[in-house]
Structure 1
Amino acid sequence: MAALALTACGDDVPEVDTSVYGAGENWDNPGGDWAESHFSRLEGLTKENVSGLGLAWEYDLGTARVQEATPVVIDGVMYTSGNLGRVYAINAVTGEELWTFVPEMDMQIVRSACCDWANRGIAVAQGKVMVAALDGMLYALDMTDGSVAWSVDTIAEHDRGYTSTGAPEVAGNLVVIGNAGAEYDTRGYVTAYDITDGSEAWRFYTIPHDPADGPQESEELEAALSTWSEDTRWDIGGGGTAWDAITYDPQFDQIIVGTGNGGPYPQAVRSPGGGDNLYLNSLVALDRETGRMKWHFQETPQDNWDLTATQPMMLAEMEVAGEQRPVILHTPKNGFFFVVDRETGRPLAANPIVRTSWADSWNLETGQPNMTMELADYTNGPKVVYPGSPGARNWYPAAYDPGRNTYFAHVLDMGNLLFLTGPTEGVERQKSFLNAGAAIIFTPDLEAAAPSLPPFIREAMMATPQWQWVLDEPFRSELRAMDPLTGKTKWAVESLGWQDRNGVLATQSGIIFHGNVAGQLFARDSDTGEELWHIDTGSSIMAAPMTYSVDGVQYVAVQTGWGGGGWGFVPPYAAAYSKGNRNRLLVFKLGGGAVPVPDDLPALEPAPQPPAQFADATPDMIAMGSGLFTENCGICHSNQPRAPLPDLRRMNSGVHGAFNQIVLEGLLMPNGMPRWDDRLSPDQVKAIHAYLIDTQAALRTRELELQRRGLPLDTQSLTILSNY
């Protein structure tokens, strides 16, 4: 493919050479190159010498939450982001800090973050480093000193639960960003801003608004209206947020956006009467200059299951049916591997890579799935649905090696039980809060949970054909090398568990790099999956590694930190469980040294004695407090040993004494704990407190007994605790 210059679109649009595939000395965006392939052309590290890697330097990111970003390196300087949208500039050879940026944060907006304080990276262009903070502010920072060149509020409606977690995407003279929050009460969109001054160039909404409010913003949305029912709950929002995958395609001067799930989840609540609900769960190609839609491809019509299309995509060119075609390689949550024509949006290949109960195959002629709704529609009763809402694939990047025509990715073959949490009619919008409308239990937990489920849920679950899938194999979690056109596995390596998910780096020299949540970084043979090297870091790794070269020396870098979806439940096999969640940036080179491994956390002590229960506490009050805690607090406070946020069954007397000030008055807002007086009344907070006092007293009793028996107070003892 010849070098491509986009001069026809204006002198301020830089030339992009699409004839060169993969990153070189620089790694100029989180995906590495123009195709966002997570593939490197560097060959300084080989199968023969990679075992000589050691630590070149480490940098303490100063936090203890989720780390999902892949660093960028340009001309010897590393730029990367951390949770909430922090930015770090570091000498890529020595690890010396050049500058840092910490955004001011509206913690009430942050309360609407479903899946931790994640941030997936930065964009660099025109001497600026751009980052989207979790509260929706987009910042452009001067590359030399981190000062703010401009900032803009990307949130369209502040009375809805919008946040931002994805990396901005540079597209010529524009930077494009979307938002998260489909589980809340949002309507998805992406916005393009001029990199020079932050002025808005255009905004594209991914789903229509209530037609009673006037014409749609575009002809494409007018056309989409017919795919939504007349009784759609527009007031709740509808979903479709573009929380991650946004990719610029310079060959066709288009921005390809992956859109998110419907909100609420059940279509019977969201769009009673059905419809495909465009443009949920779709790839949407937008003209860079105007923001007008060029084509769309919906990967999961009639979404009921949180099967988003927001997972990272990469661009490539490959032979399909004897013809070279420009394509998108995409593995969204829904369990299919898609090869999509970049020019037309037509699917050229669509193959399942995990068990799927919502559809069993794809009709390439019609561009539609062969849906099996009788197995997946839980409107009239609970269903076990595959894949589950964590997705066959999710935010953790894959890598594509064009010479080997191999796609390397972590794959999760897992389902979940889904059932309605209330009626489908008369549902009240929860302002800036969860509006999912469905309950989820993942298949690894189903057998153990079955006896405690209400009989009608348990019986309906066991009546689904997928119940046998649960019994045969609740989940399979593995790193795979796959053929894009067939989806077939060339080789696979089993992961530690379903919560062990990892991004991947591939190199032209035939090596792939990935980490795991136990804190190990691996190098494997791209052709066989054979382990060539690994090192223990003591810090959980989920983010994708990257590689770069300075003065002829090749480095491999990765950020460490546990978090993301399900972040409150740290598995015992994670380094974050045994050693804490210290966030570090680790950089390796040939001849480097050992990695300092954090010490183990001290052994747990029995829960402190709680204060006396409220004199007016009743079983009904405590039960109400349990429900309120689950609905409002449980998304952050999992109340598990070693959880990232405080286990509220272990509060000391000072926290108990300040409970009202913390929850209702925002005493700990500087620490990240928002206030709840806009949602919870004093009586409701008292009920939650009564529940926590009751729970803490019971936990203390059980843990003292475990201590007496000489048993450890850890997750492996939870079964003993529950049966004691």
Structure 2
Amino acid sequence: MRKWTTALAGIAVLSLGGITLAACNSGEEMVEGGIDNIRLMNADADSANWITHGRTYSEQRFSPLSQVNQETVGELGLAWYADMDTARGQEATPLVMDGKLYLTTAWSKVKAFDAATGEPLWEYDPQVPGETAVKACCDVVNRGLAAWNDKLYLGTLDGRLVALDRDTGEVAWEKVTVDQSKAYTVTGAPRIIDGKVLIGNGGAEFGVRGYIAAYDAADGEELWRFYTVPEGTEDESSPAYLQEAAATWNTDVLASSDAIGGGGTVWDSMAYDPELDLLYIGVGNGSPWNRAYRSPGADGTGEGDNLYLSSIVAIRPDTGEYVWHYQTTPGETWDYTATQHIILADLEIDGRERQVLMQAPKNGFFYVIDRATGEFISAEEYIPQNWAEGIDENGRPIEVAEARIDKTGEPALVMPGPLGGHNWHPMAFHPGEGLVYIPAFEAATIYDPEPDWKPDPARGFNVGFNLGAGDLPPDMGIRKQVYGTVKGKLMAWDPVAQEARWTVEFPGPWNGGILATGGGLVFQGNSGSEFAAYDASTGEKLWGFPAQTGIVAPPITYTVDGEQFVAVLAGWGGAYAITADGELVNDQGPVQNISRLLVFKIGGTGELPEQPELARLPLDPPPSRASAEVIALGKEKYARYCAVCHAPAAVGSTVLPDLRRSATLANKQAWLAVVHQGILKDNGMVSFADSLSEEEIDAIREYVIKRANEDKAIERPAQVARR
């Protein structure tokens, strides 16, 4: 029930769901043009601006703007662009308020521009220490800001929450939100509800315990913290929801001295329903991935659902009180996170209107859930998968026994792999079409359980599987065929019929987030270095722009003085980009990183500079003379400690240095200086002396030398090696 009342001071306030939404509840005096509960509640009607991450609390990423439409989109041109100063992955959603545009870039930097002209207004660099990069599984990215009153709020890679003055970029306050001695990172955008800044964290692969916390927007005081997995020491004094979770884990292992946290990080998605007063969070994977090590049963194989991993959890934003949960992948063991984009909508299902929550998590199924109760409504696979025969009437997967590798202990080719059928890239919902647009892809992985695996909280990628150093076939044609099985697509999904309406195929995976508009358009960038617009009804491509770099971030749209603009942050990077063969990420060749904000309008006449030639280093390794035993040791250690940044089998990406082309390969002492002594820690390459001996580090060098010689022999095209 909604009703307007009048505050004593004459300010309109909204009573909704028993909550009175005043102009400002954070203890700060409201300023002209500031963001408060009323503006956030009415963001859907504020089409000129983009004031919160998903444009509205429902996270639909739909704008009613229609000046750019199916008839006029052909006239769309570049209005202005701004080069970024970081050549790493760019994943942020900009915010636009009252003619000014604000965005974050890689390394957690913030920039402000005049939204119409591109004039730089201010910038802020939180000076994240370079060595923090080794804690980030998936590039040094940042996905955006939150706004409240006259401030902006930023989560930094090293775990700080920073409040900035919106007009000047000056720091108002900052708060450390994590234990910085552990491998926590923050890459997601905060959200704000009633003067509370909500932020989670990442780091499950490196052994942390996940949580989300709320901080006072006025001064950064922590108000509550909600842990997503138990410690293993819960008793009757513990919160009831954690007692319930503990019953689904092997708590002896979880609480043991060598336990590494359990995982369950809340590293991206959130949504909020003001009427129900429920905050929805998506919870990530377990730590380690392999449940046989994380939560073994009496026979040593994986056991238990391990709540609240891979779950959507509803909580009260005022107190952090647990309300309900739905687990998409019980007993998660494949890195099937439920941190993917959550969308709220009202849909007519079986003849009645339902308040639903929708998600396409990594596991390959599209879920429709009752957002008031957590009741399962429906789920169907949106991409091919082989780990489950389907979802039963209770919403539980019907698992394929061979895919349950934590039970069999045997390697298996599982679809989807750890990149999922859909990753962090935001979807969009078009209420007029009734369609959800999914940036989906198909990619299988061989999960090979590691025998006698032990956790390494210092530097190890704690998964419990060998994923990272498989030998590659010597024939480049075969390699291209293998990469050709990894597909990317834009899917228009009918959530009521649970089927695809239309699909657009792309040259490769890891394509950008989505924007849907009232002009009947869907905008998306892709790994083929193009930004394009499609007919929202049919998927027909109506317009395209050569962006010179892969685009993974989602677009936004806004108006200034009645003129509509479309903006997207371009810059190739992220998990797939840093771990894939840089020559074979798609069938169009290498994708380089040229980080820019691109802004378009009808009649725009701007042009980008000529695309620079891809920088190349020679593939000229020393001869491979090490013994088979040394190379085998190096292969094993490379898989665990190096592949997450430098790509499996040392194939080399276009974002981080290609080790096969490193000058240090020919110089053992120079290699040790980098890997053992950490002389390049300010660039993100820290010392691994706590985890690897000098002998093991040199064995890694010998393995990379062998791989470089193999690829030189088949005359691989040169790759870029660029930070």
Indicate the TM-score class for this superposition, using the shorter chain for normalisation: 0.7 to 0.9
Residue 464 (structure 1) aligns with:
none
1:265 is matched with which residue?
289
Residue from 507, 520, 523 that aligns with 2:533: 523
Q: Is the 8 A contact 1:22 1:32 kept in 2?
A: no
Superposition deviation, residue 642 in structure 1: 5.7
Matched, 1:27 2:54: no
- Aligned counterparts, 1:297-316, within 5 A: 297-316=326-345
Residue 78 of structure 2: aligned partner: 55
- The whole-number CA distance in structure 2 between the counterparts of 1:265 and 1:684 is 24
What is aligned with 2:488? 477
User: Which region of structure 1 is more displaced relative to structure 2, 191-200 or 102-111?
Assistant: 102-111
1:418 to 443, 447, 451: 447
Distance 1:441 1:678 in 2: 21
Instruction: Write out aligned runs for 1:211-610 (5 A).
Output: 211=233, 217-234=238-255, 235-273=259-297, 274-364=303-393, 366-380=394-408, 381-423=410-452, 427-440=454-467, 474-497=485-508, 499-568=509-578, 569=580, 570-572=582-584, 578=590, 580-596=592-608, 598-601=610-613, 604=616, 606-608=618-620, 610=622
For 2:639, the equivalent position in structure 1 comes to: 630
For the residue of structure 1 that corresponds to 2:225, the secondary structure is strand
One-letter amino acid of the counterpart of residue 599, structure 1: Q
Contact 1:189 1:206 in 2 (8 A): yes
Conserved 8 A contact 1:35-1:316: yes
Deviates more, 1:404-413 or 1:293-302: 404-413
Q: Which range is displaced more, 372-381 or 49-58?
A: 372-381
Asked whether the 8 Å contact 1:393–1:410 carries over to 2, the reply is yes
Contact preservation (8 Å) 1:2, 1:19: no
SS at match of 2:436: strand
* 1:169 Cα deviation after fit: 1.2
Following TM superposition, by how much is the alpha carbon of 1:21 offset from its aligned partner in structure 2, in angstroms?
A: 4.2
Deviations 1:563-604 (A, max 9, x none): 111222235466996563110000000111253254352574
Q: 1:335 to 1:690 in 2, by over 3 A?
A: closer
Please state whether the residue corresponding to 2:19 is helix, strand or coil.
Answer: helix
What is the aligned counterpart of 2:688 among 650, 665, 676? 676
Deviation at 1:229, TM superposition (A): 2.7
Q: Normalized against structure 1, the TM-score is what?
A: 0.87
After TM superposition, the score normalised by the length of structure 2 is: 0.87
Q: Is the 8 A contact 2:182 2:208 kept in 1?
A: yes
The offset of 1:514, in angstroms, is 0.7
Letter in structure 2 aligned against 1:396: H
| SS, match of residue 227 in structure 1 | coil
The CA distance in 2 between the partners of 1:429 and 1:34, in whole Å, is 39
| Matched letter for residue 462 of structure 2 | N
Q: CA deviation at 1:107?
A: 3.6
One-letter amino acid of the counterpart of residue 637, structure 1:
H
Residue 660 of structure 2 aligns with which residue?
Answer: 649
The one-letter code sitting in structure 1 at the alignment partner of 2:401 is M
Between stretches 381-390 and 162-171, larger displacement belongs to 381-390
Deviations 1:75-107 (A, max 9, x none): 111111111211111111111111111112234
Give the SS at the match of 1:589: strand
Shift of 1:289: 1.1
Question: CA–CA distance in 1 between the matches of 2:265 and 2:428?
Answer: 24
The residue type equivalent to 2:637 in the other structure is: L
State the number of aligned residues: 681
What percent identity do the matched residue pairs reach? 37
Alpha-carbon distance between aligned partners in 2 of 1:390 and 1:369, rounded to the nearest angstrom: 19
Q: What SS class does the counterpart of residue 418 from structure 1 fall into? A: strand
Q: Does 2:123 match 1:114? A: no
Instruction: For residue 216 of structure 1, report the CA deviation from its aligned partner.
Output: 6.6
Choose from 84, 88, 94 the match for 1:71: 94
Contact 2:44 2:55 (C-alpha < 8 Å) held by counterparts: no
By how many angstroms is 1:548 displaced?
0.4
Letter in 2 for 1:154: T
Counterpart of 1:207 in structure 2 is 229
Matched residue type, 1:87: V
**One-letter identity of the residue aligned with 2:677:** E
Q: Deviations over 1:217-271 (max 9, x none)?
A: 5211012111113543441221111111122221222211100111212222111
What do you get for the CA RMSD once the two structures are aligned?
3.2
5+ residue gaps, structure 2, are 4-13, 26-36, 298-302
What CA distance in whole angstroms lies between the structure 1 residues aligned with 2:371 and 2:464? Answer: 35
- The answer to whether 1:102 aligns with 2:125 is yes
Distance in 2 separating the partners of 1:655 and 1:584 = 36
Query: Once the 2 structures are TM-superposed, how far is the Cα of residue 619 of structure 1 from its aligned partner?
Result: 5.0
Q: 1:625 to 1:337 in 2, by over 3 A?
A: closer
Distance in 2, Cα, partners of 1:428 & 1:584: 39
CA distance in 2, matches of 1:153, 1:683: 37
User: Does the CA-based 8 Å contact 1:504-1:512 persist in structure 2?
Assistant: yes
State how far apart, in whole Å, the 2-side matches of 1:56 and 1:348 are. 44
Shift of 1:630: 3.1
- Residue 507 of structure 2 aligns to which amino acid in structure 1? L
User: Which residue does the alignment assign to 2:186?
Assistant: 164
